[in-house]
Amino acid sequence: MKTNRDIVRRITVDERLDANLIRILISELFDDVESGEIVDDTIWWDEESKLVSDLRSEDIERASKSVVDWSTLLREWGIPERIWPRWDDLAEGQVYLEGAYTLRKIEDSIMLQRAPKIRHIVRVDLVPQVKDHRDRMYNRIFMRRARLA
Amino acid sequence: MPKPIQPEDLVFHFLNVGFGDNILIELPADEDGKRSYGLVDCCDHEKTKGYLKELQKKRPGETNFRFICATHPHYDHISGINNFLKDPDYRPEEFWESGFRHQSKTYMNIINSIHEHDIKLVRVSSGMEWYFGKVQVTALSPSIRLRNRYATFGVDMNNSSVVLRFEHHKEDYLLTKSLEYKGTKSEEIERQAGRSVVVLAGDAEFDSWAYVADEYPRLEASKTHQPLVKKMINPLACRVIKVAHHGSMHSSPLDIYEKMNPNLAIISTKQEVSTKQIGDMTLERGLFPHPSSISSLEEVGATILTTDGCYESSTVDGQPRNPDCDRCGTIVVVVPPGGDPRYDKLDDDEYTVKDPPTDV
């Protein structure tokens, strides 16, 4: 049976809707993937959205039923409090990898490898390989059309 | 009194999908009596496909889309799009987008599908135009000046939104343009400006509207500036607006609504309440729509319709604001060529597909 300890999640900050409200997107690494390039979209499940808030749970419950408390969520995932991303620092476009894994640079690629004893959360959207991958994927559409013209 | 929808009518279906945008557009029928479609944002592909199938039982149409537009890459606007790009029965001729690149997997899936299936990608900026018979579509935003700042993170995703203006002309568009230059004054053009216009505002916020106001000014008639006399159309005037960003606090400033002067304002939403601490006071208010946005729309006299019914069912002196529409549901807007739009509200929740109307 899969436990929380086995799960590796890719968390994207999609939109800050209000000072107290953010939509995040969560996708989990496929169960049978032990390692892979972090920019490889085929190793992750499709994303699910979740509204999170920094308000206390009782205040959220009073205001909305579809919102979860950010600190409760991180606690449920088993992330040590000392490494939680600060609420005020969360901004759209950020990507975090959460879970038990290591990252290793092999030639020009950043490889993710499951590593059960190491559990952490790391921001990866500023890694050049991640940014470059997105832009390369986008631009190749225009490059192909230019070649066809 | 409802009237039958005619083959030449342009029809917008603002699907109730909860918190998200999902606008299915029925373009007027071609010579064979078949309609074609456009899709502006898609949050729920299952509901969209189910609704489209029901629609085609009432009015024949091609299944593939003339265009699919992702106004910007937030999840509540694009989560259903990739399903259509992958499906050969529904694949669009063109995919329109703002050029803002997101890091989400949902966005990357779309980019991969466009490449894999060689779909024509159109990076939209203000001033671009398309024509579908008598329907003229103009991009009001994003301004090229905003687009050039994407990479510096000086522009957030909402402000990159594609804002589209749909005008359903009575006559051929070129004929209308020639009327504009007839003599020195055309009161008819001025009077009719905005009459059959619908603006879909994505999630554009203040930065975006500042450029729209600058690039699409209302130029007044003047005796001393002859060249301006001939340019009297107010390009922002419209009868219907799909309110930006679910009616949030920063969705649109009042002066934009004054320029638009809409009769009908549609807010696709599922209300979220939030609290804010100001000193000792805890302010609790709805975010989508926000009271400031509602107040601006009321100020210009627009009828407000929400897909979750939160505004219509809210009470004043114990009575719902709009008892005819105090429920959640898809909103259908019919725009005859050159005529005033009319609307209907269905009574579907976000998970069910309602029979599309034949009379509105």
Q: How far is B141 from chain A (nearest CA, A)?
A: 20
Give the pLDDT band of residue B46 (cuts 50, 70, 90).
very high
At B38, give phi and psi (nearest 5°). -130, 155
Percentage of chain B lying above the pLDDT 70 cut: 90
Nearest by CB: A140 against B74, B115, B276? B115
B287 touches chain A (CB under 8 A): yes
Q: How far is B225 from chain A (nearest CA, A)?
A: 44
B122 touches chain A (CB under 8 A): no
**pLDDT for the residue numbered B314:** 93
Higher-pLDDT residue of B151 and B242 is B242
Give the mean pLDDT of chain A: 88
Least trusted range by pLDDT, from A65-74, B288-297, B317-326:
A65-74
Q: How far is B276 from chain A (nearest CA, A)?
A: 8
B277 touches chain A (CB under 8 A): no
B276 touches chain A (CB under 8 A): yes
| Cross-chain residue pair A125–B118, CB shorter than 8 Å | no
Percentage of chain A lying above the pLDDT 70 cut: 89
B249 CB-near residues (< 8 Å, 6+ apart): B287, B290, B292, B293
Least trusted range by pLDDT, from A119-123, B24-28, B217-221:
B217-221
**pLDDT for the residue numbered B180:** 57
Nearest by CB: A63 against B79, B105, B284? B284
| Cross-chain residue pair A41–B112, CB shorter than 8 Å | yes
User: Which residues of chain A neighbour B273 with C-beta distances below 8 Å?
Assistant: 63-64
| Cross-chain residue pair B105–A142, CB shorter than 8 Å | no
**pLDDT for the residue numbered A116:** 83
B149-169 confidence digits (pLDDT tens): 886 666 889 999 999 999 998
| Cross-chain residue pair B114–A141, CB shorter than 8 Å | yes
- Report the pLDDT averaged over residues B104-118: 96
B278 touches chain A (CB under 8 A): no
| Cross-chain residue pair A135–B101, CB shorter than 8 Å | yes
User: Which residues of chain B neighbour A12 with C-beta distances below 8 Å?
Assistant: 102-105
Higher-pLDDT residue of B180 and A99 is A99
**pLDDT for the residue numbered B176:** 61
- Report the pLDDT averaged over residues B23-36: 94
User: Which residues of chain B neighbour A19 with C-beta distances below 8 Å?
Assistant: 276
Chain B stretch 246-265, residues whose beta carbon is closer than 8 A to a beta carbon of chain A: 248
Higher-pLDDT residue of A72 and B79 is B79
| Cross-chain residue pair A12–B114, CB shorter than 8 Å | no
B74 touches chain A (CB under 8 A): yes
A interface with B, Cβ–Cβ < 8 A, is 10, 12, 14-15, 17-21, 23, 25, 27, 41, 44, 46-47, 49, 51, 53, 55, 59, 63-64, 66-67, 92-95, 125, 130, 134-135, 137-138, 140-142, 144-145
- Report the pLDDT averaged over residues B102-112: 96
| Residues B335, B341, B344, B350, Cα dihedral to 10° | 60
Residue B186: pLDDT over 60: no
Q: How many CB pairs under 8 A join A and B?
A: 95
CATH (residue range B10-270+286-345): 3.60.15.10
For chain B, state the CA radius of gyration: 20
Higher-pLDDT residue of A10 and A80 is A10
Cis peptide leading into residue B142 (ω within 30°): yes
Residue B236: pLDDT over 80: yes
Give the pLDDT band of residue B138 (cuts 50, 70, 90).
very high
CB atoms within 10 A of CB B65: 23
d(CA B24, CA B6): 17
**pLDDT for the residue numbered A62:** 54
Q: How far is A14 from chain B (nearest CA, A)?
A: 6
The DSSP bridge pattern shows strands B264-267 and B303-306 to be parallel
Residue type, B337: P
Q: How far is B346 from chain A (nearest CA, A)?
A: 24
d(CA B105, CA B232): 46
Least trusted range by pLDDT, from A49-53, B198-202, B304-308:
A49-53
Higher-pLDDT residue of B215 and A60 is B215
Handedness of CA B341, B342, B348, B352 (dihedral sign): negative
Q: How far is A107 from chain B (nearest CA, A)?
A: 23
CB B51 within 8 A of CB B15: yes
**pLDDT for the residue numbered B261:** 93
**pLDDT for the residue numbered A67:** 86
Residue B179: pLDDT over 80: no
d(CA B38, CA B16): 17
User: Which residues of chain B neighbour A145 with C-beta distances below 8 Å?
Assistant: 120-121
Residue B265: pLDDT over 60: yes
